[in-house]
A and B are shown apart, each in its own frame.
Chain A
Amino acid sequence: MKKEIEFMLNEEKVIVEVEPHWTLLHLLRETLELTGAKEGCGVGECGACTVIVEGDAVNSCLYPVMEIEGKTVTTIEGLAKPDGTLHPLQQSFIENNGVQCGYCTSGMIMSAKALLDKNADPTENEIRTSISGNICRCTGYVQIVESIKHAAGSMKNTQAAQNGK
C-alpha cells in the first residue's frame, strides 16, 4: 500500500508516494530517476549508494525510505550549482584524476562532502577514515585522497577570499 512522504531533497521540497518497504536508494533511482547514487553490493559494504541525510553520510541502500519523512537529503545531483558550476569536490576529482570507471565516484564525493561540511581542514588520516566505507576497485585510492585534499584546500581559499571582502 503506497504512502505519501515529504522531505527535502537537494534543497527542494519533495512529496512522493512510496511503498513502505522501499529503501531510499530505490526511491532515488527508480522513482525520482536520480541515478547518481549507485547500487553496488546492496548490503552496506561498498558505499556506492552513499548520500547525506541530516548532515551524515549513510548507505541509501539500507536506509528505509519511511525514515526520510521530514528529513534533509543531499545526493550527488544536488552538488553542482544550477548554472552547471561543479562543486569544488567534483572539480577536484576531475583535475586530480580521482575518477576512473566512475562507479564509486558519487559515493566517494558524498562521503568526502560529509567530512568537509563538518571539518574544513581534515588530516590525511581523517580523509582516509571518511572514505573507509567506500570501495574503489580502480584507483588504489591515492588519487581520490589527493582530490579530497585539493578540494579542501580550494574551499578554504574561497572561504578566506570571501571573508577578506
Chain B
Amino acid sequence: MKGCDYYKPETVGDASRLMASLDGARYIAGGTDVMVLIKQKKLSPAHLISLRNIRELSLLDTSDGLSIGSGVTHSRIVRDAWIRDRYSALVDATQKIGSPQVRNVATVAGNICNAAPSADTACPLLVLDAKIRIAGKKGERIVAIEDFFLGPNRTILEQGEIVTAIAIPKLDENSGSAYIKHTRRKAMELPLVGIAARITLDAADRAPGWKESLRNAPNAEALPGMLEAAGIVCRDVRIAMGVVSPKPMRARKAEAALEGKVVSEALLDEIGALAASESQPRDSFRGEAWYRKDMVQVLVRRAVLMSIERIVNA
C-alpha cells in the first residue's frame, strides 16, 4: 500500500470541506471494503478521509421509525433487541454479513455505498422502504433506496457526498419481515441469492385472539392452509431480490399478486414463479443462472411465510 494521508474530521461539514480541498481523496468508514481495494491495488487514494470520528453519524435513533447513522456497525444492529422485534429482515442480514470481525467495524451504510449486487442489507432496506439521507455541497437530499443503486458498485452518490443516515419508517403493528441469504456455507459467504419480504396482515375486523389461533400451526407448511381458512388479507407487500440483476431489485409483479389477497398454497406458488420470471440472474463461478432462478421461486415463498410467522408469533 502506497503512502497516503489520513484525516479524522469530527463533523460532516469538515469532512466535506476536506474532500473538496484535496485531490484524489476517498472517504473511509469501517474500511472493510476500502482497505481491501487498496491492498488489491484497485484503489490508490492520495488521502483517506475517515468518517469514523464523526459523532453524529454513530447515532441510532428510534424516536420516529428507525434512523441508522452511517457510522453504525452491523454488530450494533445485531445486538439491538428493539430493532430485531420490529425490523427483523435487517437483523437477518446484518448478522450474516462477513464475520464477527467484519461486523464489528463495517457499517450498514458502507454496505449500500459499496453497492455490490450481493449487498446483504440492500434487500431488507428495499422492503422496509428505507430512505437515504445524503449530505453534499448543495445541502441535504433524501433518496429512496430503490433509486440509490445504479449498477454493480455504482450509486447515485456524487463526488464528495456523504451518506449521513438511513431512515426506515415506522411499520404497522401487524407487520413482519424476513431476509433469507442463500449460501453454500454458513459463514464468511456472499449470497448466491438473497430474498427479503415484508407483509402486513390486515387485522381490521379480526376478533381478539386471531394471532394466537394461528400460532398453533404445527409447522410452517401448515400455515398457508390456516391463513386461507382464516381469510386474512395481506397488505403493504414488499419483496426484494439480490444477486439476480445488476442491482438489488423489487419483485413488483409478485408483490402485486399478493397485495390485498389471502395467502394460499396456490398463491405462494404463483408469486414465487412471478418473482423468478422478474429476476435476471447470470451465470457466475458462485452459481448458475437457472439455479438462482429456481431458488428465487423457493425462497420468495419461504420469506413470505417467515414474515407471516413473525407477525403471528410477535
Contacts and interface: CB of A to CB of B under 8 A. Distances in A.
Nearest to B79: A118
**Which range holds the interface residue count of chain A?**
20 to 34
Interface string B6-44: 101000000000000000000010011001100110000
**Which range holds the interface residue count of chain B?**
20 to 34
- Among B5, B28, B101, find the residue whose CB has the most chain A CB atoms closer than 10 A: B101
Main SS at interface, chain A: loop
A62 B100 contact: no
A7 to B, nearest CB: 14
A20 interface: yes
A58 B105 contact: yes
Contacts of A69: 8
A129 B101 CA distance: 11
Contacts of A19: 3
Given A57-B101, A58-B101, A133-B98, A43 B187 contact: no
Given A58-B105, A133-B188, A63 B31 contact: yes
**Top 3 closest pairs, chain A to chain B, by CB:** A133-B99, A132-B187, A20-B6
Contacts of A1: 5
Contact of B1 (A21, A111, A132, A133): A21
A77 interface: no
A61 B36 CA distance: 9
A47 interface: yes
- Among B31, B100, B105, B188, find the residue whose CB has the most chain A CB atoms closer than 10 A: B100
Interface of B: 1-6, 8, 28, 31-32, 35-36, 39-40, 48, 50, 52, 75, 98-102, 104-105, 186-188
A102 B223 CA distance: 49
Given A43-B36, A43-B40, A132-B187, A66 B6 contact: yes
Given A67-B50, A133-B99, A58 B31 contact: no
Contact of A64 (B3, B50, B99): B50
B6 A59 contact: no
Contact of A62 (B5, B8, B105): B105
Contact of B101 (A21, A23, A42, A111): A111
Contacts of A56: 75, 104-105
A36 B223 CA distance: 53
B50 A133 contact: no
A5 to B, nearest CB: 10
A44 B100 contact: no
- Among A45, A59, A129, find the residue whose CB has the most chain B CB atoms closer than 10 A: A59
Contacts of A74: none
B100 A133 contact: yes
Contacts of B3: 19-21
